[in-house]
Structure 1
Amino acid sequence: MHKFFKKISFFKSLGWFGNIILSIGVIPQVIQTWETKDVSSFNWSFLLMWAFGVLFTFIYILEGDLKSGKRQYPLWLNYLVNIVATFYLCYAKILYS
C-alpha cells in the first residue's frame, strides 16, 4: 500500500468525505438559481445567517489552524465553497428580486 494511504486515518477519511459532500451539496442550488433566476423562495434571515455563520466559522478554524500549526484542509474546502456559494445566493437574491 502506498505511504499516502497509510497516513490517512479512518476519521480523517470521514472528515474529507463529509466535507466534500457538504461542499458539493450547495452546488445544485447555485446552478438552479443561476439558470432560473428564481430566488423567491429564499429567506433573507436564512441566507444571511448561513453566509455569516460559514464565514465566521471559517475564520475561527483558520485562526486555530494557524496557532496550532495544523491544517484542516477538509474544513477549509467545505467552508470556502460554502462562503462563495452562499454569498452568490445573497447576491442573486438582490439582483433577481
Structure 2
Amino acid sequence: MNTVDFIEAVGWFGNIILSIGVLPQVVQTWRTHDVQSFNWLFLLMWALGVLFTFVYIAYNDMVVGKYQWPLWLNYLVNIIATFYLVWAKYYYGSLKKS
C-alpha cells in the first residue's frame, strides 16, 4: 500500500468513526424523547457548523474536480443527525411543556 492509499484509508476510517459517533445519541433520543440535557446554543452552533463546513468542502471539491468522499459521508451524516436532534429538541421539548 502506498502513502496516498494509506492516507485515503485513514481519512475513510476517521470519517466513518465520526459519522457513526453521532448515531448513539440519535437512537437514544428517538427511543426516549429525552432532550432536556441538550443545550440549544450547542445544537444550533453544531448544526450550522457542519452545514457551512459541508458547503465549503463541496464547493472546493467541485472547483478542484477531486471529491473527498470520506468528508462528504461524515458531513452528510452529521447534517442529517444534527438537524434531527435540533428538531427533536424543539418538538419533544414542546410536548413536555404542554
TM-score past 0.5 threshold:
yes
The residue number in structure 1 matching 2:75 is 79
Query: 4+ residue runs of structure 1 moved beyond 6 angstroms?
Result: none
Superposition CA RMSD, Å: 1.4
Q: Percent identity of the aligned residues?
A: 67
TM-score by length of 2: 0.91
The residue number in structure 2 matching 1:52 is 48
* Equivalent residue runs for 1:1-97 within 5 Å: 9-97=5-93
Shift of 1:11: 0.6
Matching residue's letter, 1:68? V
Q: Structure 1 CA distance, aligned partners of 2:42 and 2:8? A: 30
Q: Structure 1 CA distance, aligned partners of 2:81 and 2:71? A: 15
Q: Structure 1 CA distance, aligned partners of 2:71 and 2:46? A: 16
Shift of 1:61: 0.1
Gaps of 5+ in 1: none
Q: Structure 2 CA distance, aligned partners of 1:84 and 1:12? A: 24
SS of the equivalent of 1:83 reads helix
Gaps of 5+ in 2: 94-98
TM-score by length of 1: 0.92
SS of the equivalent of 1:41 reads coil
